[in-house]
Amino acid sequence: MNDILGTIKRLKHIEPERAYLKHSKKRLFAYINPTTRINISALTLASSLSLCSLSLFFIFHGTPSTPTPLASLDTITLTEEFNKIDLQSKITEVKTRDSKNRAIDRAIQNLAYTGKSSPQNITSPEETNDKIDQLLDELL
């Protein structure tokens, strides 16, 4: 019996480390110390006052003008704006900006596919240029 009690009593020697106790006490006091609470309360109060001041400033002076963010545009507005664009004029602009060589290529291909003429029948460069000019007039 005494041996068992002796062994159990040896468990008394289990103790936390000093470093743990010190840290634990600091952690505990961070919660319970009134000074900490006052500091936290003061900080909260200061933050609230700052926000109130900022709100009052905007109420009396108006909010700063900022561009309407894209996210605020609804679908209808976007559709309306899209419809305002003259697509035909945009296409013409693009065509006008095309290089002459690309227009010629398209004209020659067009001739071949429609059967009105064919590149094989073109005998001279002058005739080719005339045909191309004619087609370009039709296209543009």
Partner 1 sequence: MHLFNRFNTKKVLDVTTLVKEAKSGDSKAFGVLYEQYAPGIYRFTLLKTSSREDTEDLVHQTFLKAWDNIQYYEDRGASFQAWLYSIARNTVIDYYRTKKTTATLASYTRNPFEEQKIFEYTESNVEFKMLKQHIAELTHTEQDALLLRYVEDLDHRTIAQMLLKSENATKVLIHRAIAKLKQKLDPR
Binding interface with partner 1 (CB under 8 A): 1, 4-5, 7-16, 20-21, 24-25, 27-29, 31-34
Comparing CB distances to partner 1, the nearer of 3 and 138 is 3
Q: Minimal distance in Å, beta carbon 25 to partner 1?
A: 6
Over the Cα atoms of the chain, what is R_g?
Answer: 43
- Integer Cα distance of 14 and 17 in angstroms: 10
Q: Minimal distance in Å, beta carbon 40 to partner 1?
A: 15
Q: Minimal distance in Å, beta carbon 5 to partner 1?
A: 6
What would the DSSP string read from start to end of 51-106? HHHHHHHHHHH-PPP-PPPGGG--HHHHHHHHHTS-HHHHHHHHHHHS-HHHHHHH
Comparing CB distances to partner 1, the nearer of 36 and 109 is 36
Q: Quick one: tokens of 90?
A: 């945009």
Comparing CB distances to partner 1, the nearer of 16 and 69 is 16
